[in-house]
Structure 1
Amino acid sequence: MPGSKILASAHYLPTDIVTNDDLSQIIDTNDTWIQSHTGIKTRHISLQGENTSDLATKAALLALKDTNLTANDIDVIIVTTFTPDGLAPSTAALVQRNLNAKKAWAYDIMTACAGFVFGLSTADKFIRSGAYKNILVIAAEVNSKMMDFSDRTSTVFFGDGAGAVILTADDNDTGVVVGEELHTIGNPDVVHSGRIAPLKELSATNYPKTDAFSQMGHDVFDEVTTLIPKHITDFLASKQLTPHDVDYFIPHQANLRLIEYIANALNEPLEKFSTNIVRNGNTSSAGIAIGFDELNHAVNLLGKKVLLTGFGAGFTYGSVLLEF
């Protein structure tokens, strides 16, 4: 049975950078409040007409560029996104078209900010089945299009971006994914976005409408601080490991203060945590993918253990342990 290895990674960010001062021109907020509560200084916002599939395609092309593969060598395309171009066709199908990846079948995974972890887990299973050789996993988000810009409690957090990895089958190795643990707790109210209300009567004026992103910030903080440190500790213990055995942590880039809390709860230095939220904001599922690519290009991961932990709406959370 083949294992999966990561052949390449890449990420793409829109060119427009929005500072906290920029936001203060349209929202009742300020740089001091945003930095003290979130740690965020800037975020990339798609202001040039780029949708989620466009960001995903650009990240995928950058990843392919670092390999000897062409788009026709890709068997499966998985896009994890909380902000698809639309309900149908899938964002992954649009990426497949953009890449002209004629052999690939494609679909989306929607587990909000935990998406990239779930996407990696899924792709690894497909490769281990022996049926597929090369799989493109992309996490892409245009959060800005789903924001209510009068809601300062949510809007100041988010940015846009995409990250991609190419997994390939390795018949001579057990694979880079050495463990995982995934969870879902059905809770539709703490974080939600894009709700579409059902009809209450027949009317010629009926037209589908979606709601903007909304979150109950204090409840999110309570859920994460209660569940995630214990989840990480218990998951690692099931592998006869402790947090100290992990070389690098790549958590969901929700809020720098949350990441600091998790690091402290695990009694691990913040230097072991890959963070990009200060300059990118919360890019939902893309944050972990971007963080992995940055780490992958910054250090030699050979022999290292890397823990990816996502958590988000659903409430959905989980971890994937990689060993190179």
Structure 2
Amino acid sequence: MIGSKILATGHYVPKDIVTNDDLAKVVDTSDEWIVSHTGIRSRRVSLRGENTSDLATKAAEIALERAGISAKELGFIIVTTFTPDGLAPSTAALVQRNLGADKAWGFDLSTACAGFVFGLSTADKFIKSGAYQYGLVIAAEVNSKMMDFSDRTSTVFFGDGAGAAVLAPSEVGVLTAEEMHTIGDAEVVHSGRIAPLTKLSAENYPTIDAFAQEGRTVYNEVTTKIPNHIQDFLKGKNLTVDDVDYFVLHQANLRMIEKVAASLGQSMDKFITNLEEYGNASSAGIAMAFDQLNSQVDLTGKKVVLTGFGAGFTYGSLLLEF
């Protein structure tokens, strides 16, 4: 049976660094409050005209170079994002054009901050079909363009960035287990909603809302559901959390990840984090953190769990065995 392997990964972040002190000049907050509540000290923000497709393209170029393949060899491109350049064309179509990947088709996948996990799962199925030699999964977000900078409950968290992975067929697949869930909820986290018309008028023009979240509800949902989800997921593979070498969770909030680690009885040394420097980059956070792990550690013989959770409420995990 054909499996899929991850040939290479890469990530890219905008050059502009916005510290907590910088944010405190715009919104009523402080470095002390942000660090104590979130663990975030800075974030990268796109202030030079780079949109989601631009970040995605640059992350993809890095991953493709490391994989040693040309964009023209790609069969498909999946971009996971909930901050696309626009509703149409897809961000994936723009990346396909930017890369010159003229033999690849592409589409966007939107499961908010869980996107990279769902994107890898989807790509794995296409590779396993035997129809494609190479596939590209990119998680990319420009969260800053969706922020209400008067809302400190959301603004202090988010940063911009992109991470990418190149997949190819393999006799022994890396992705050995998965489990996904969705609990429909339109209010706890939402962004970019477009209201329907209430009357026909020449003054009608589409507008969208800024990102918003019920922070305490999100924290409680994650710290309650995710530890149980991870344990049940691993139990289904006759594994325990002690058998896992590394956990890469959605980079939402360091205090949240610490709480999950404690609930699982695991050391934070096993949890890969980058949000202290990059902030919460939504779906890109896991992709960027996994690239950092993949670039710094020989994963041969290791077990890695990727767990994403985001608006929906949508969450899921992948078990990668190298």
Return the TM-score normalized by structure 1: 0.99
Which residue pairs with 1:158 in the alignment?
A: 158
Which residue pairs with 2:95 in the alignment?
A: 95
Which residue pairs with 1:212 in the alignment?
A: 210
Give the residue type in structure 2 aligned to 1:54.
D
Offset, 1:28: 0.6
Which residue pairs with 2:135 in the alignment?
A: 135
**Pairing partner for 1:284 from 240, 257, 282:** 282
Give the residue type in structure 1 aligned to 2:281.
T
- Which whole-Å deviations, capped at 9, do the CAs of 1:271-299 have from their partners, x for residues lacking one? 00000010000000000000110000111
Q: Which ranges in structure 1 are unaligned for 5 or more consecutive residues?
A: none
SS of 2:181's equivalent in the other structure is: strand
1:300-311 mapped onto 2 (5 Å cutoff): 300-311=298-309
Number of residue pairs matched by the alignment? 322
Which residue pairs with 1:223 in the alignment?
A: 221
Offset, 1:222: 1.0
Which residue pairs with 2:31 in the alignment?
A: 31
Offset, 1:67: 2.3
Which residue pairs with 1:297 in the alignment?
A: 295
Matched, 1:43 2:43: yes
- Which whole-Å deviations, capped at 9, do the CAs of 1:187-228 have from their partners, x for residues lacking one? 000000000000000111000000000000011011101110
SS of 2:121's equivalent in the other structure is: helix
SS of 1:186's equivalent in the other structure is: coil
- Which whole-Å deviations, capped at 9, do the CAs of 1:22-69 have from their partners, x for residues lacking one? 000011100000000000000000000000000000000011111221
Q: Distance in 1 between matches of 2:237 and 2:69?
A: 34
Give the residue type in structure 1 aligned to 2:172.
T
- Which whole-Å deviations, capped at 9, do the CAs of 1:220-246 have from their partners, x for residues lacking one? 011101110000000000000000000
Matched, 1:189 2:187: yes
Which residue pairs with 1:176 in the alignment?
A: 174
Q: Distance in 1 between matches of 2:255 and 2:32?
A: 14
Q: Distance in 1 between matches of 2:244 and 2:197?
A: 50
SS of 1:229's equivalent in the other structure is: helix
Offset, 1:131: 1.1
> Do 2:14 and 2:45's aligned partners in 1 also have CA atoms closer than 8 Å?
yes
> Do 2:67 and 2:166's aligned partners in 1 also have CA atoms closer than 8 Å?
no
Q: Distance in 1 between matches of 2:123 and 2:103?
A: 16
Q: Distance in 1 between matches of 2:239 and 2:313?
A: 26
Which residue pairs with 1:73 in the alignment?
A: 73
Offset, 1:133: 1.5
- Which whole-Å deviations, capped at 9, do the CAs of 1:248-290 have from their partners, x for residues lacking one? 0000000000000010000000000000010000000000000
Q: Distance in 2 between matches of 1:133 and 1:73?
A: 8
Matched, 1:167 2:155: no
Which residue pairs with 2:52 in the alignment?
A: 52
Offset, 1:12: 0.1
SS of 2:304's equivalent in the other structure is: strand
Matched, 1:120 2:117: no
Give the residue type in structure 1 aligned to 2:223.
T
Q: Distance in 1 between matches of 2:151 and 2:71?
A: 41
- Which whole-Å deviations, capped at 9, do the CAs of 1:54-94 have from their partners, x for residues lacking one? 00000000111112210110000000001000000000000
Give the residue type in structure 2 aligned to 1:245.
D
Q: Distance in 2 between matches of 1:163 and 1:147?
A: 21
Which residue pairs with 1:244 in the alignment?
A: 242
SS of 1:82's equivalent in the other structure is: coil
Q: Which of structure 1's runs of 4+ aligned residues deviate more than 2 A? A: none
Give the residue type in structure 2 aligned to 1:86.
G
Q: Which ranges in structure 2 are unaligned for 5 or more consecutive residues?
A: none
Which residue pairs with 1:86 in the alignment?
A: 86
Which residue pairs with 1:19 in the alignment?
A: 19
Which residue pairs with 2:268 in the alignment?
A: 270
Offset, 1:174: 2.5
- Which whole-Å deviations, capped at 9, do the CAs of 1:129-176 have from their partners, x for residues lacking one? 111110000000000000000000100000000000000012xx2200
> Do 2:20 and 2:31's aligned partners in 1 also have CA atoms closer than 8 Å?
yes
> Do 2:114 and 2:308's aligned partners in 1 also have CA atoms closer than 8 Å?
yes
SS of 1:164's equivalent in the other structure is: strand
Give the residue type in structure 1 aligned to 2:2.
P
Counting aligned pairs with the same residue, the percent is: 69
Q: Distance in 1 between matches of 2:258 and 2:115?
A: 22
Q: Distance in 2 between matches of 1:63 and 1:131?
A: 21
